[in-house]
A = this chain, B = another copy of it.
Amino acid sequence: MRVKELSSRSGVSVPTIKYYLREGLLPPGKLSSPNQASYDDAHLRRLRLIRALVDIGGLTITAVRQVLSAADTPDETVPRIFYAAQESISADPALPRDEDWDFAEARVAELVERRGWQVKPDSRAWQTVVAVLVSARQLGHGVWTGTLDAYADACERIAAADLSYIEGIEEMDAMLEGVVVGTALGDTLVTALRRLAHQAESTRLLGAES
């Protein structure tokens, strides 16, 4: 199909498609004449993936590029793809490594040991958990760290569900795409469902809202 049809089928404007082509997010089409390129379903699918990562996952174009390049690398293992997707999507928590940090980091290390998790202490995910505990404690919500195990337990269930879905996908490309989509869209899903659960639980415990 030509770029106009690609645009109408994907709902992405022609200038935006050209921008993605220039930025290397979308592979070039096949040249059918010196200034006419044709695109296929793989382009359409990739465009939808980019829009989902930007619109629903809230990723920047730079983060989208990193995630896609991890998914496009041949012979990557699933744990490595997961890790690359995570690192691209996560912000680096910029907090000083002071006493509060050391205290919180020790709590995270204990949690990881209790759960028997094999994870990387230098990953952004680990550092972000530490940063949240530091902030919560500085705000006088130190006790809140007591809920860490409830969160960890819940996240284990979610990860098991995610992995069992990923394992069920036979085609490698689709599986890798599932990892990156699941990492980005899953963030949005879990925070939105947690809010619905807050609405439900606070109304149940503390009375109707209106």
Contacts and interface: CB of A to CB of B under 8 A. Distances in A.
Interface of A: 45, 48-49, 52, 55-56, 58, 77-80, 82-83, 86, 90-91, 93-95, 112, 115-120, 123-126, 128-129, 131-132, 135-136, 138-141, 143-144, 146-147, 150-163, 165, 167-168, 174, 177-178, 181-183, 185-209
Q: How many copies does the complex hold?
A: 2
A123 B191 CA distance: 13
B141 A200 contact: no
A122 to B, nearest CB: 12
Given A82-B202, A140-B174, A177-B139, A165 B147 contact: yes
B192 A129 contact: yes
Is chain A's interface secondary structure helix, strand, loop, or mixed overall? helix
Contacts of A112: 196
Contact of A191 (B45, B119, B191, B208): B191
